[in-house]
Structure 1
Amino acid sequence: MSHHTTTFGQLLQLITRHEFEKWVKKHRGDAYSKGFSCWSQFTAMLFGQLSSQKGLRGIESGLSMNKNNFYHLGIGKVKRSTLSYANNNRPHQIYQDLFYSILGRLHGDKKKHKFKFKNPLYSIDASTIDLCLNIFPWANFRQNKAGIKLHVKLDHSGYIPSFVSVTDAKVHEMNAIREIPKKKGDIFVFDRGYNDYKEFSKYCKEGIYFVTRIKKNAVYQVLKECNVEKYEDIGFDKYIKMTGMKTGKECPQRLRIVESYDPETENTIVLLTNHFSWSPETIAGIYKDRWQIEIFFKTIKQNLKIKSFFGTSKNAVLMQIWIAMISFLLLKYLSDSSSSVWTVGSLMAVIPILLFMKKD
């Protein structure tokens, strides 16, 4: 019997053991394994994610009920105490590296974004995951609160996370965005909470483009007004220079603002960019597509185990988050390669039933 005859086996087939063991060896994950390997830990925790288990007891029971399937996957009996110990002590960096390894391998199969330009388009945002201060004291960020923050760079070609960072909740978005990889020609779209004119000046110098909302209190001088009569939902298109006491010094380069009306939401917003060749409608369309990162956060929070945790240590929490991100990549690949119209969210609704269904 082949161990790739079930849906779960098909997903695991996307991860080669050679690839997996490379990261285990790098971080010495199996140095003190005592018969319970990192592969067993990963398979058990991936099962926990995909079958929506509420705790380690559920994972243990689920593995026991499907022991024949797991035997053919190279997994023996798993006790929750053993799994708990592994989650607390095996380096979470194994699964962080595995995430990027899978991402790099599946990257070539991604779909092109919907815009005519060829530049890579990314949205950037962050989401806080609230934790109980009494249970997770290491995640303290306010007097009576605890939490961690998930920072994501979403590639709009396929809408997959191309960069993920997990920090303390107190880390500001602007500090995190500086660590996100960028290269000449990249286009970034983000909300006005990321407005930083020093960064904008740096983008202008390095050939990096951005689209965001301008803050209401921004002070600027209009250098040129463009004709927008042919655009139904564009109020104005202006070239500007920042003249605020601070912003004028931080970003002396010419910028552009576009007023856009969205008939669906009946909202009017003013967008800020450093790109001058696109039509104002394209700029509005880019910002509207930023909604995809909101959908991403909603999908993972509703369908993956990243709001409640199987362990309380920092290592256990980070390990669970990285395996959740790996789960998303595997399900995204499955949905994109399917002839049916599946989203990751709709797949997650049925995947617990399909996990051990035999495949031809």
Structure 2
Amino acid sequence: MKRFIGFVKKEFYHIFRDKRSLFILFGMPIAQILLFGFAITNEINNVDIAVLDHSKDATTEEIINKISASKYFTITQFISHEDNIETAFKKGKIKAVINFEKDFSKNLIKERKASLQILTDATDPNTANSITNYINAILQNYQQAENKDIEVAYQIIPQTRMVYNPELKSVFMFVPGVMTIILMLVSAMMTSISITREKELGTMEILLVSPLKPFQVIIGKVVPYIFLSVVNAMVIVLLSITIFKMPIQGSLFLLGAESVLFIITSLALGILISTIAQTQQAAMMISLMGLMLPVILLSGFIFPITSMPIPLQVISNIIPAKWFIIIIKGIMLKGVGISYLWKESLILIAMTLFFISLSIKKYKIRLE
């Protein structure tokens, strides 16, 4: 029995001396519960909306102030004409537009009813439904407050219109997200395992002291996987079109170019992971556990980023998948071009250059 107790004590000592084991045991669960607790929510907060007020009277101003005062919405734009609504949606920041009819206040007083239109960006059907429900709830509260002291009740009639996905098909949200996750995880995992395999076999040292420069070794490792990942992307797009009836409103060429850019970004991230991990097992764990949760939770794939706490919103900006989801939804569902997506494209290019530069630096350090 003493031998067994001594053996157990020894195992405890090994665990407490190994900082990586302690991190997996205590750090990962804490990080996961915080991430899940704050990121997984069906509520909306600080959603950017725009207003088109044809009436511009005291009643519409009061309703606008009431909506703006809530924690759920932030009015960031006042649109002057209906032709500008589509432009506002294509920029990607505005998630809803409230369109007041002309003579809103007069109609409410004379006819006891007035109408307004709620247009929502339904590329994310769940968020679109939530936005509509929240706005309707605010309008109902306003009506109840106004109808307390009058005999004939006022009636505000909201008319809802879902833009880009009028049937609210959930597949329109899931296909871009799933495509992003598959491309990122597969690409990052393939390159990270490929290079750590060389490390384990000892052949990486031979490559690094060969006449090939470090950046040539890295690029040479990445090129075959670019081709394989492009084939993977083509299969995913083909299946989404033929089986799930996913529309592609924009340019197929632009979709292909942006997909290649994202694949290169993911492969560069895999290279970076390979410089940190010493074994294939460690690379696999970092690629799966270290990337899967942030990609699913912080990319805006399922849960709206604007509803998350500010620190998580900031962290989401360093997740490449967030920017690619914006790009792919813009091309496939909104039909926008590079004039609307140049910022997201530049961010992915900058991330790619950063990952590759850091990887080359790491390899140079190994040679010294």
The alignment's TM-score, normalised by the length of structure 1, stands at 0.23
Q: Structure 1 or 2: larger helix share?
A: 2
> Which protein has the larger Cα radius of gyration, Structure 1 or Structure 2?
2
